[in-house]
Amino acid sequence: MKLVTVVGARPQFIKAAAVSRAITRHNAAFPLAPARIDEIIIHTGQHYDKNMSEIFFKEMGLPEPNYFLDIHGGRHGAMTGRMLEKIESVLISEKPDMVLVYGDTNSTLAGALAATKLHIPIAHVEAGLRSFNRNMPEEINRTLTDSISSILFCPTATAASNLEKEGIRNNDWDGQRKIHIVGDVMYDTTLIFKAFAQKPKFAVPHEYILVTLHRAENTDDKARLTSLISALGNIGKKVPVVFPVHPRTQASIDKAGIELDPSIIKVDPVSYLEMLYLIDNSLLIMTDSGGLQKEAYYCHKPCITLRDETEWVELVEDGVNVVAGTDQDLIMQNIQSFLAKPPNFTANIYGTGNTAKHIVNHISEYAC
Ligand code: UD1
């Protein structure tokens, strides 16, 4: 079968790396049609800086994209629309049997929309995740993508039950629609690459808290951003804070004229292998990223989520993640309690690290 994979943003390169490896392994075992999967990769260009894109392809052995669309920036509608037009042209010429999309970015939605309008089945990795916050562009992207996907790869039973509540059920569409609970593909990538973690070139302190921020709800709201940066300054005076800054966040800090406390160790975005090193050697993580909440868990680090809700509710239920929003007191209290008494990491919430293999098997079976 011919499979077109659409990626565009940093977390998608990370997830696709595990699945592409599994496809290569699958083809070694099943070199002939109909089980063989020929993957064509479209990179929309949503993330384009060397350290937001190219480095991930190099480090993680992700095959070079067959198409690079060079679409980034601008308003969400315009970005998604431009992607839709170009992806549609590629799909018309490639005529794939299926389109594979990841997560909840504008690239995800554009890939899914282009496919459905050409009646090409869509496989969605990370189906069923919900924040129930309709103001997030990601919530819109993932809800719409799920509603038109043929194969929905859910990381957990909670995600599958979210789909059911929206009327999306296994074997809908006269049996053509399939829902599979497969675990989290980012667990695979953490397991594969942790042994290759790389110490970044800047002077990493012996003990530190690792912070990332990039969500629009934080970066585009001056009051929230100011509150978070001020919290980082207060924390940085007590425990070193390492803060790799996403381009969106840097632009918002500059625009709002916010000064960072000099105690904050602010660096450019780091590579995946460097990030794994930083996570694994940190005291704890503070983030508004979805992926980093899980990577913290896989490296047995407590996490404070700088949002008002999380899609990864199992981590909160397990006591290893606290949703603190931008409340400085709550953030401080949780740092203190996590450092005084680190939580236990006993449960195995997101599968066994074989998610990519399950995804590839289901895709191959669907085509056969
Ligand atoms: C996007 C995703 C988000 C995901 C995140 C991962 C959407 C709606 N959001 O958010 O779900 O968690 O990626 O990082 O798709 N920029 C650069 N260089 C780059 C990339 C971006 O300068 O390599 C700039 C863009 O031009 C833009 C800003 O950063 O001005 C934001 O980028 P954008 O792609 O809109 O969204 P993200 O915030 O990265």
66 pLDDT tier (thresholds 50, 70, 90): very high
User: pLDDT tens, 155-196?
Assistant: 999 999 999 999 999 999 999 999 999 999 999 999 999 999
Given ligand 1 and candidates 68, 131, 248, 293, which is best to mutate, with the most ligand atoms within 8 Å of its CB? 248
- Residue 368 pLDDT: 78
3-state secondary structure of 168: coil
For the question of residue 180 being annotated catalytic, the response is: no
For 76-100, how does the pLDDT look when each residue is reduced to its tens digit (9 = 90+)?
999 999 999 999 999 999 999 999 9
Report the pLDDT value the prediction gives residue 348, as an integer from 0 to 100. 86
Summarize pLDDT for 337-363 with one digit per residue, the tens.
999 999 999 878 999 999 999 999 999
Distance CA 119, CA 148 (A): 10
Which pair of tokens denotes residue 247? 């381009």
Angle, in degrees to the nearest 10, between helices 10-29 and 355-367:
60
Chain Cα centroid distance, residue 93: 29
What's the chain's average pLDDT? 97
CA of 115 to the centre of ligand 1 (A): 23
State the CB neighbour count (10 A cutoff) for residue 173.
10
179 torsion bin: left (phi>0), alpha (psi -120 to 50), beta (else) = beta
Regarding the beta carbon of 244 and ligand 1, being less than 6 Å apart is answered no
- Choice among 214, 246, 300, 358 that is catalytic: 214
Helix, strand, coil % (nearest 5) of the chain? 45, 15, 40
d(CA 333, CA 335): 6
